[in-house]
Structure 1
Amino acid sequence: MQAEEHADRPLPDVRALDALVGGSPAGVAVFDEDLRYVYVNPALERLNGVPAAAHLGRTIAEVLPDVDVRLDVLRRVLADGRPRELTTSGQTWVDSAVKRRYWRGACHRLQEGGRVSGLMVIAQEITATQNEREELLRARSYLTLLDNAAVSIGTTLDVRTTCQELADFVVPLMADVAVVEMIPRDVGHTRREPPAGVLRLRRAGVATVPELADAIAQFGGPGADIDYQDDAAVPRCLAADGPVVENLYGDERLSRAAPSPERVEAYRAIGLHSAVAVPLTARGRPLGVLSLLRAGDSPPFTEGLDVVVARTLAGRAAVDIDHAYRYTHEHRIAGELQRSLLSEPRGPNPGIEIASLYLPAGAGALVGGDWFDAIPLQGGRHLKVMGDVMGHGVEAAVAMSNYRSMLRIMAEDDQPPHRILERLDKAVEQSGLDRAATCLVAVVDRREGVCEVASAGHPPPVLIDPGASRARVAPLVAGPPLGTGFGGYRTTVVPCGPGTVLFMYTDGLVERRGEDIDVSIERLTRLTLPAGGRLEDLLDEVVDRFADTAEDDIAVLVSRSRGY
């Protein structure tokens, strides 16, 4: 039939070709000038899964509709006679577990008697080689991913933020959906217990590709409690402390991976077909699970590179999460201790007004070692203390508690301020406390209208007199910080009559990078008592003027005597 339609066109001598390439292990096809098959050898029959007779007179698209071929390349070879190579991919009629196969072909124009007679294509399957190449490219991208993980996950000491960073990091490069769920650590309140045989985790991070965002949102976001049946992938992952890979083809496998039977239909509806769950474990203790899911056209997870990379990322993130847990625990303990030491001091007697302020340097900063106290003395006098233990965290808060306890004991002996500091310095040295502290001790005598002050490396107090246009800085000679063992403290007596405000503070109020401390302290002389004379209003002014530029914790204690 072909010969009748194209009698003026020479056709390749297929008998001679068959003798030449019929036994070749490479697939060989010969096409006429309309790119219709006129010959295929036995090797190509096996590659295509189609008998030779079913090829003849038909185009590639008619025989192999699921194979992508660059027809423009074939036509250029026919036109100019220059041989070319091309790569095609797709699926033939041969059963294959590989989702996409690849072939490499060499194209040559055929001529007889000086006239073009057709085109010959010699093809070999390169699926394994192509898959290896893609696996190598994926491995390289995963190595880049792991390199970037250190700067993208664990940027804060907040557990939920770290979990969300982990989920965001793996989508879309590794998964279409990523979910991080934690074993709950509820502190200070009760939580609803799950039914028997159910594992309840708390969702802490979710990330999805945009097209799945609405569908995944129905399953619960961060903060939601998720219940898993015993045979689901997540509980099995935690029980084995190892990865669990689930290719979700079929309801049985889908139901094993889903948290509950009701979720199976929802998973099927959005096309989820592959999942891997890896444990988040740190210091031998399980913290939670990272679950990765793929849907639609994404390839299924494998036991090889996918799991190795997922487990490596989960291991790194688990360390960051553990650090965040430990930080939160330490911060809570230190915060509770510091709050107890920074509670509003009770007035030593009805004739004394007291107000206080504490501002941490930042929401994420560890608590500091600031403290203050007010202690009544004999004869209507009262002692005020402002201290600052060096450093932050639990150790600083514990040291602060020790300093305060020792000072209260020594205040009972009714000694002048410099004697109190000398005894405290020796007691600290003998106690083994390894944290130095600055301290300001002031004893106000309302009857005499004076204030005795001594400093152990602490900034001097400021006194705000009634009706004065400027405050005054007490002219102290500061001794060394407590805990150094050097001693050498001096008491200075300054006027402090009824109505005068004694303003004591830590260095966080005044110290600024690049500025001389004397200049910073001098700025406090502009403080005046606001109209109405309330000490709380004075503290509000301090916040307005100094809080935004503070680089360290601020503690302020203000007091005023009403007369004797």
Structure 2
Amino acid sequence: MCPTAPGRGGADHFSDAAAVALSSGGTDHVLRNVLSGTTAGVAILDPQLRYLYVNPAFARTIGVPATSLLGRTINEVLPGIESRSDVLEQVLLDGLPREATTTGVTHTDVSGAPGQRRWWHGAYHRLEIGGEVFGIAGIVVEVTASQEQQRALEQAQARLTLLDAAATRIGTTLDMDTTSGELADFLVPLLADVATVEVFPEETGQVRGVTASGGLRLRRSALASLPELREAARRLGLTGEYVDYPAGSAVPRCLATERPIMRNLQSDEELTQWVASPERLAAYRAVGIHSTLVVPLAARGHTIGTVSLARAGDSPAFTDEDVVNAQDLSGRAAITIDNARRYTRSQGIALELQRALLAEPGSPHPNVELASRYLPSGSSALVGGDWFETVRLPFGRTLLVMGDVMGHGVEAAVDMSNYRSMIRYVSASDLPPHRILRQLDTNISEGETGRPATCLLALVDPARGICSYSSAGHLPPAVLGADGRPQLLEVPTGPPLGTGFGGYDMVTRDFGTGEVLILYTDGLVERRDEDIDRSLARLTRLRLPVAGTLDALLDQVLRQLTDRVAEDDVAVLAARVRPPSAAGPGAAGRAAPGPPGPGPGRAPGAAGSGR
């Protein structure tokens, strides 16, 4: 073969057979001009798929001189390119034109690493001369740019699909650890074999979790791993523990730069720069971790922690696309985690406020034994306005109060405090329970911001062995006899306080030594999926240890009635009249005079109108 046809310039390169075939006829000059001037790559191959001719554009597009191609196949020259010999052989076999897309790497960079992948699209036709198959003509155009655009679009679509799936699985609650766990579980096995979420500890007195040695302390909020790695992954630490990272290690550097850090196929020396201690290096190797990626968790302009991903065993190394996906998912989840963290902080403030307000109820007379419990609702609900109070009155009497302000949150807790203060003030006038409620209703309804509230008053009079009740829309009290079976008392129910309607009645019942009175809010018995009568019947079916301590009795009540996460706050108060010998020195004498009120002609069980 000769590289150049006789009498022609060096722009085109032919084998001898091609030169003879193309030199006959007047179209030779025109054909050569077309082939030399087109920007499409044109090549002619013989039946063995060896190059007979390539035009200048073809040589340029694959970056190899034409002289290096003639007489050789593409894989002999560029083994990194797909030959698509299957398509070409079919064209030779049946003569039908075909199109095919080819991809590959045409060269290496200066470091010897493979160059960028490229794509070409070609149309192939069989050539015949005198009925004999001469070879194949191929017209090839590089489509790398359009392929990369298509791939970018596909990647963008895949990321959107990924984020859409994450939105339905991450952030189902306002609990920070639950949300972190949902993120870690989503990342495994999608992007990692092991994933951890670590956040700055809220309760630390240090600045942003900085340790005494200048390192960084984070709290592990979640850890997830493949099932087969679960046992070994426990060596990496447990959820809820604190992890100290030395200054200069990967996690502190990630948080300092607010950029992801990726390390693939690391040696022990490289992993040492990543992990917190030699013990953790051993744990990493026990899991088989070889590649790591850490991305910052940032929301609303500040970092709240990190997400660390690891791959082990036969899993491939991380790619740049993995980094982008991890950043997208972490960025989306960081908002939810920050929301949960803010909510937890707000919930904690409201809860501490309510606990502080309930921490010091008034002390009853020594002749009355008391026990109380307050339980906040589950993490999905705000703190409510449940409250209780005890007020000492003359003649050894004690007023027991159970109330529930409508609504939730800090505002309800503040209104609850207002109700407690007001009832102490009004009850100091030594009014009967129904008149206390009337005065409270008037005072609250005349205000501008007071929320309505239900309330139950029980005026315990140990000297007379009676208790007088009045209710403002509250659930009935329960009294336990010697058999430990709760019996609901019928108490006339008026409208909630703060409505301004008034109309409260009082009923007086016997209440002797050995009986236990239970006041409670609706969170103890009510369930959203059942009628209130059925809920109250559940209370009456209990069998409670009346002879024991009131604390043990309330523990038993809560165990049996709150066996799942409470849907509302629960407040419960238990009271029992002490025997005279147990009421303390002088108690009987203080109670002896007896209060003004129903005379000898009035039965203790009679009800009095308060209208």
Query: Shorter-chain TM-score: which interval?
Result: 0.7 to 0.9
C-alpha contact 1:278 1:310 (8 A) present in aligned 2: no
Gaps of 5+ in 1: 3-9
SS state of the match for residue 372, structure 1?
strand
Whether 1:154 aligns to 2:174 is no
Deviates more, 1:313-322 or 1:26-35: 313-322
Residue identity opposite 2:476 in structure 1: P
Which residue of the partner structure matches residue 508 of structure 2?
Answer: 493
The residue that corresponds to 1:13 in the other structure is 18
1:66 CA displacement = 0.9
**Which residue of structure 1 lines up, in the alignment, with residue 494 of structure 2?**
479
| Distance change >3 Å, CA 498–CA 167, structure 1 → 2 | closer
1:224 is displaced (CA, Å) by 4.7
CA contact (8 A) 2:544 2:557 kept: no
Q: What corresponds to 1:419 in structure 2?
A: 435
Q: 1:556 aligns with which of 559, 562, 572?
A: 572
Q: Is the 8 A contact 1:212 1:270 kept in 2?
A: no
Instruction: Report the secondary structure of 1:280's partner residue.
Output: strand
Post-superposition shift, 1:484? 1.5
SS of the aligned residue for 1:107 comes to: strand
State the SS of the aligned residue for 2:504: coil
What is the rounded CA distance, in whole Å, between the counterparts of 2:506 and 2:408 in structure 1? 29
The aligned residue for residue 39 of structure 2 is: 25
- 1:80 aligns to what? 94
Give 1:447's match in structure 2, choosing from 452, 457, 463: 463
Distance 1:138 1:177, change over 3 A: farther
Shift in alpha-carbon separation, 1:260–1:496, aligned structure 2, 3 A: closer
Of 104, 115, 121, the residue aligned with 1:90 is 104
- The change in CA–CA distance for 1:138 and 1:357 in structure 2 (over 3 A counts) is same
Of stretches 214-223 and 146-155 in structure 1, the one that deviates more from structure 2 is 214-223
Query: 8 Å contact 2:296–2:307 — kept in the other structure?
Result: yes
Contact residue 262 and residue 318 of structure 2 kept, 8 A: no
For residues 245 and 525 of structure 1, what CA distance do their matches in structure 2 show? 62
Q: CA deviation at 1:152?
A: 3.0
Q: What CA distance in whole angstroms lies between the structure 2 residues aligned with 1:537 and 1:413?
A: 35
* 8 Å contact from structure 2 (residues 210, 216) kept in 1: no
Structure-1 separation of matches of 2:434 and 2:365:
24
2-structure distance, mates of 1:27, 1:419 = 102
Query: Given the alignment, which residue of 127, 132, 155 partners 1:115?
Result: 132
- Determine the C-alpha separation between the residues in 2 that align with 1:530 and 1:233: 56
After superposition, the C-alpha distances for 1:336-380 in whole angstroms (9 at most, x for unaligned) are: 233345559686244333233444443543232222233332222
Structure 1 position 124, deviation (Å): 1.6
How many correspondences in the alignment?
A: 543
- Amino acid across the alignment from 2:414: V
- Is residue 2:87 matched to residue 1:69? no
Q: Which moved more, 1:495-504 or 1:193-202?
A: 193-202
Provide the residue aligned with 2:609 in structure 1: none
Q: Letter of the aligned partner of 2:407 in structure 1? A: G
Q: Residue in 1 aligned with 2:364?
A: 348
User: Which one has a bigger Cα radius of gyration?
Assistant: 2
> Which 10-residue stretch deviates more, 380-389 or 515-524?
515-524
Normalised by the length of structure 1, the TM-score is: 0.79
Structure 1 counterpart of 2:532, from 504, 512, 517: 517
Q: Over residues 459-502 of structure 1, what are the superposed CA-to-partner deviations in whole Å (9 max), with x where a residue is unaligned?
A: 1212223358x654322211111122222212111121222221
Equivalent-residue separation in structure 2 for 1:301 and 1:235 (angstroms): 21
Residue in structure 2 matched with residue 140 of structure 1 by the alignment? 157
Deviates more, 1:110-119 or 1:549-558: 549-558
- Cα distance in 2, alignment partners of residues 218 and 58 from structure 1: 58
- Identify the residue that residue 6 of structure 1 maps to in structure 2: none
Name the CA shift for 1:293/1:124 in 2 (closer, same or farther; >3 Å): farther
Pick aligned residue for 2:203 from 186, 203, 225 = 186
- Cα pair 1:67 1:89 within 8 Å, conserved: yes
Query: What residue number does 1:300 align with?
Result: 320
**Counterpart of 1:185 in structure 2: which amino acid?**
E
Distance 1:215 1:352, change over 3 A: closer
- 1:168-220 CA-to-partner distances (Å, cap 9, x unmatched) read 55677788997755444325799974468766655646778999999999987
**Alpha-carbon distance in 2 for matches of 1:168, 1:455:** 50
Task: Write out per-residue CA displacement over residues 11-51 of structure 1, whole angstroms, 9 at most, x where no aligned residue.
Answer: 96355558363443222232222222333333332333333
- Name the CA shift for 1:433/1:112 in 2 (closer, same or farther; >3 Å): same
Amino acid at match of 2:494: G
CA contact (8 A) 2:254 2:294 kept: no
- Aligned mates of 1:89, 1:359 — CA distance in 2: 66
Structure 2 counterpart of 1:101, from 102, 113, 118: 118
Q: CA deviation at 1:536?
A: 4.5
Write out aligned runs for 1:379-458 (5 A): 379-458=395-474
Q: What is the one-letter code of the residue matched to 1:507?
A: D
Q: TM-score, normalised by structure 2?
A: 0.74
Contact 1:370 1:400 in 2 (8 A): yes
Deviation, structure 1 residue 105: 1.2
Q: Please tell me whether the aligned partners of residues 50 and 93 of structure 1 are also in contact (alpha carbons under 8 angstroms).
A: no
Whether 1:281 aligns to 2:299 is yes
1:367 aligns with 2:383: yes
Per-residue CA deviation, residues 307-360 of structure 1 (Å, 9 max, x unaligned), is 6x8777655444323321221112112222333455596862443332334444
Contact 1:31 1:38 in 2 (8 A): yes
1:181 and 1:434, CA in 2 relative to 1: closer, same or farther beyond 3 A? same
Alignment partner for residue 546 of structure 1, among 561, 571, 578?
A: 561
What letter matches 1:87 in structure 2?
T
The alignment's C-alpha RMSD in Å is 4.5
1:111 maps to amino acid: E
In the aligned structure 1, how far is the partner of 2:504 from the partner of 2:418? 21
Give the counterpart letter for 2:574 in structure 1. Answer: V
Q: CA deviation at 1:127?
A: 0.7
Partners of 2:377 and 2:563 in 1: CA distance:
10
Change in Cα spacing, 1:191 to 1:421, as seen in structure 2 (3 Å) is same
Gapped regions of structure 2 (runs ≥ 5): 3-14, 23-30, 581-611
